[in-house]
Amino acid sequence: MSTIAAASSKAGLSETAAPRVVSIDISRGLTMALMIFVNALADVRGLPWWTYHAPTMVDEMTYVDMVFPFFLFIVGMSLPLSVTQRLKRSASQRALWAHVGQRFLSLLVLGLILANAEKATPALTGMSGSVWGLCALVCAALYLNVYMPSKRWPHYSTVLRTLGLAGVVVLLALFRRTTPQGQVAWIDFRYPEILGLIAFAYLSVCILYIPTRRWRWAPLVWFALLVALCCFSTAKMLALPVHLPLYVWPFGNGSSALLVMAGVIASSIFLGEGARSNLRRTMLLAAGFALVMFAAGRLLTPLGISKNRATPTWALYCVGAGILVFALLYLACDVKQWTKWAFFVRPAGSNTLLTYLLPDLWRYSIASMGIVAYEAHFSTGWQGVVKTCLFTVLILSISGAMTKAKVRLQL
């Protein structure tokens, strides 16, 4: 690890220019496409075991178990670029942390909407869960949309954003559910869905990275400490992270945060000073870091291999695989500039939040209209796989069309 640390320190992220990195957008787009596919495929029955998440108490992992970690890894790669650009626009630390807080809250609220829509009690909420979820997402989109400037109506964006925010607040206030014990309750905060988990991982890494970003070795130190936290938590040598809610301890058992921090390290490897000019060293450094991750994961296999249990081996294997996959994309897209092949997924990579929400908007829309044919037919075997592929293509096509029409959600 010391060799990697030294080389990574020399390849630290440049504090000057931070151009848009094509391989990050394409990597994010490919991950989004795969996420849409596997989420839809989960409802298809009669497929081989490796097409689903591995069972919780079984020590194995499938490709499905690697999709969410890959997304967290890309979040980490984008973080240093985002922080650098925001500080260029304004050197205010208060403004930077306000932006971090806004992104965290936006992701968390979106996650809670998605996690609670199906739990709504229509008689108490005044509408079905599907209608409530659809209205809440549309209002959130009004608030998060990037509006084009208009000379004729210069304040229209402020009006629409205000209406969207007010709509979310009202819908959250109206929400009611019935607990298994028969009691009336409000929003269930226990599981904030994937977007909420991303929010906590993002916040926890910001807490560590932003104050120490000028120390080039800091991400490696934080990464090692997060791996240790994950190991001790999984081994039940630390009880505190397991029992504290994410709202109190956003680091959880350390697994999600270490995946994001690994992306920060990868950003310094691939996007730091001299990375492009000394490509051989960059590739060797990336390969070496990946091999260390695979070796460390192999040593920690007695603690188990499981996404659902968030074991260190699962996380480290995903880090190693994520670095190798990104290295290939970096060579193809940024070095060789072979990007035309990715035309279909690039909108999903540049307009990620909209793409992520589109499947839920689709699901809530057809449920609100009482359409059940889509869910009821072609849900087993190869027919279900074909339907899932077509659904993925549909969502990516809609994302591309809306992106082209300047509809973009941004946190």
Q: Per-residue pLDDT tens for 105-119?
A: 999 999 999 999 999
Q: Is the pLDDT of residue 16 over 60?
A: no
What whole-number distance in Å separates Cα of residue 8 and Cα of residue 267?
10
Mean pLDDT of 157-165: 96
In the structure, what pLDDT confidence band is assigned to residue 4 with cuts at 50, 70 and 90?
A: very low
Mean pLDDT of 249-253: 93
Per-residue model confidence (pLDDT) at position 15: 35
Mean pLDDT of 70-87: 94
In the structure, what pLDDT confidence band is assigned to residue 375 with cuts at 50, 70 and 90?
A: confident
Which structure tokens are listed for 23?
Answer: 């391989």
Per-residue model confidence (pLDDT) at position 20: 60
Average pLDDT of the chain is 91
Q: Is the pLDDT of residue 13 over 80?
A: no
Pick 113 or 243 by higher pLDDT: 113
In the structure, what pLDDT confidence band is assigned to residue 310 with cuts at 50, 70 and 90?
A: very high
Give the domain extent around 8. 2-91+216-404
CB 348 within 8 A of CB 399: yes
Q: For residue 268, tell me if it sits in a domain.
A: yes
What whole-number distance in Å separates Cα of residue 274 and Cα of residue 168?
46
Q: For residue 167, tell me if it sits in a domain.
A: no
Output b/e per residue, 297-333; b: 16+ Cβ within 10 A: beebeebbbbbebbbbbbbbbbbbbbbbbbbebbebb
What whole-number distance in Å separates Cα of residue 259 and Cα of residue 75?
9
Instruction: Please list the residues that pair with 409 across neighbouring strands.
Output: 145
In the structure, what pLDDT confidence band is assigned to residue 157 with cuts at 50, 70 and 90?
A: very high
Q: Is the pLDDT of residue 133 over 80?
A: yes
Q: For residue 211, tell me if it sits in a domain.
A: no
pLDDT tens digits for 44-55?
999 999 999 999
Q: For residue 293, tell me if it sits in a domain.
A: yes
Single pTM value for the model: 0.91
Per-residue model confidence (pLDDT) at position 295: 98
Q: Is the pLDDT of residue 19 over 70?
A: no
Q: For residue 371, tell me if it sits in a domain.
A: yes
Per-residue model confidence (pLDDT) at position 330: 94
Q: Is the pLDDT of residue 346 over 80?
A: yes
Q: For residue 202, tell me if it sits in a domain.
A: no
Which of 1-5, 119-123, 396-400 has the weakest average pLDDT? 1-5
Mean pLDDT of 76-97: 91
Q: How many distinct structural domains can be found in the chain?
A: 1
Mean pLDDT of 260-286: 91
In the structure, what pLDDT confidence band is assigned to residue 277 with cuts at 50, 70 and 90?
A: confident
Per-residue model confidence (pLDDT) at position 190: 92
Q: For residue 182, tell me if it sits in a domain.
A: no
Q: Is the pLDDT of residue 393 over 90?
A: yes
Q: Of 308, 192, 319, 188, which is closest to residue 253 (Cα–Cα)? A: 308
Q: For residue 139, tell me if it sits in a domain.
A: no
